[in-house]
Amino acid sequence: MQKFDCIIIGGGLGGLTLSIQLAKKGYQIALLEKETYPFHKVCGEYIAMESWNYLINCGIQLPNLHLPRLEKLKVSAPNGNFIEHQLKPGGFGISRHKLDHLLALEAKKLGVNLIENCKVNDVTEINENHYLVHSNIETIEAKIVVGSYGKRSNLDVKLNRDFIQNKAKGLNNYIGIKYHVKANLPNDIIELHNFKNGYCGISKIEEEKYCMCYLTTAQNLKEHNGNIKKMEESVLYKNPFLKKYFTSFESFYEEPLAISQINFSNKTQHENGIIMLGDAAGLITPLCGNGMSMAMKAAKILSELLPQYFENEINKSHLTAKYVFQWKQNFSTRLWAGRKIQGVFGNEMMTNLLINAIKPMPFLVNKLVSLTHGKSF
Ligand SMILES: Cc1cc2nc3c(=O)[nH]c(=O)nc-3n(C[C@H](O)[C@H](O)[C@H](O)COP(=O)(O)OP(=O)(O)OC[C@H]3O[C@@H](n4cnc5c(N)ncnc54)[C@H](O)[C@@H]3O)c2cc1C
């Protein structure tokens, strides 16, 4: 059996970009993804500019894709009161269907052993330098395993992680819903419209499409007997922007894409010898529009630390300690700020008050945005 330097579980932005960076350095990498590219994902598809250079470094020719640059922000309260503001440096729009696929092609080109349709069921630690990864396809070996399998997976249950044991309830049990729509909105704006216990983002992606994606509590859906349409009509439509968009924009999907059991509890960055990356290490609230950049930034950090481990310059516990230190240094404030802002946005009255309060003080918007964003990497 071939022993890989590293097995990465989950081919989202964290796993794909890590595999590319390590393959570029000549390491033997296996990347196991349970789906087959290209595929859709629930995500707002706004990528903060801080990731632009890194994606180019990963082989994605972003300038040639002619993607919309998103440089304005509009935020409305459930009653329709709104603010509009320049977003600096802002972001750009691209669907996950397209971006993940381009990265997967690049990874394969660089010699990453990318196995699709491969669901990992368990990981066995033989010793700190030897792991067995068991999937529906085969069992393979590596010196180290990285878990970049997203917000919540069968492996979290298998590992009995703390956040799985916390009973998901109230404001810590969310669902995400996404549509791709035809819209007559400007190209350069990301809009965030609040409603009771949730918010909906809309912004342009490639090919004249717009991504319209919202997060709300599972309780909100439960109160409408699990009927998404009914919930949208009775809750989201109270915001006049959302009523207009949902009733006039044509969807490219027959049914919306939905995910459940989203929870923003703290997570650990390593578990049972597995190093966690992206949402598997910590999930930022989506209204910050920065989860993808965090996953990629953490991949960059790891791609610089892992070679030190492979070349025996540091041992496993040094590797883990250095990674956790850098992870916290880069992301703890963002995660904290994201939770605080989401706490306000979940509340109808607070959002209305906040929009009124911020209107005459636009510099506060810059402050809030800068708390949840990082520097270009
Ligand atoms: C509603 C919503 C809107 C969002 N909007 C934005 C936004 O606009 N901008 C932004 O930057 N971020 C946004 N985010 C956050 C962003 O989507 C994530 O932070 C980002 O996708 C994390 O990347 P990742 O690589 O960690 O995980 P993912 O992209 O989720 O990838 C994980 C991969 O692992 C695979 N997998 C899972 N289990 C297994 C297994 N057992 N075996 C093999 N493969 C497995 C999955 O199929 C998946 O492909 C949003 C999130 C939500 C919920």
The answer to the question of residue 291 being in a domain is yes
Answer for the pair 284, 294: CB distance below 8 angstroms, yes or no.
yes
**CA–CA separation, 58 and 143 (whole Å):** 24
- Tokens at 278, concatenated: 């992206």
- Domain count within the chain: 1
Q: Is 68 in the pocket of ligand 1 (CB under 6 A)?
A: no
The answer to the question of residue 254 being in a domain is no
Neighbours of 221 (CB within 10 A): 21
The answer to the question of residue 128 being in a domain is yes
The answer to the question of residue 22 being in a domain is yes
pLDDT tens digits, the chain, 377 residues: what are they? 679 999 999 999 999 999 999 999 999 999 999 999 999 999 999 999 999 999 999 999 999 999 999 999 999 999 999 999 888 889 999 999 999 999 999 999 999 999 999 999 999 999 999 999 999 999 999 999 999 999 999 999 999 998 888 766 555 789 999 999 999 999 999 999 999 999 999 999 999 999 999 999 999 999 999 999 999 999 999 999 999 999 999 999 889 999 998 988 889 999 999 999 999 999 998 888 799 999 999 999 999 999 999 999 999 999 999 999 999 999 999 898 888 888 887 778 888 888 888 888 877 777 778 887 888 99
| Residue of 149, 262, 284 to mutate, ligand 1, most atoms within 8 A of C-beta | 149
Nearest to 79 by CA among 350, 285, 344: 350
Q: Is 70 in the pocket of ligand 1 (CB under 6 A)?
A: no
The CATH number of residue 121's host domain is 3.50.50.60
Output the residue whose Cα is nearest ligand 1's atom 37. Answer: 149
- 101 CA to middle of ligand 1, Å? 14
The answer to the question of residue 85 being in a domain is no
**CA–CA separation, 320 and 308 (whole Å):** 12
**CA–CA separation, 227 and 124 (whole Å):** 41
Q: How far is C-alpha 65 from the chain's CA centre?
A: 21
- 13 CA to middle of ligand 1, Å? 7
What residue type is 309 in one-letter code? Y
The answer to the question of residue 206 being in a domain is no
- 356 CA to middle of ligand 1, Å? 33
Identify the domain containing residue 41 by its residue range: 3-52+93-167+263-349
Q: Is 155 in the pocket of ligand 1 (CB under 6 A)?
A: yes
Answer for the pair 277, 298: CB distance below 8 angstroms, yes or no.
yes
Phi then psi dihedrals of residue 217, to 5 deg: -75, 150
Answer for the pair 122, 134: CB distance below 8 angstroms, yes or no.
yes
What is the model's pTM? 0.96
Which residues are paired to 31 by β-bridges? 8, 114
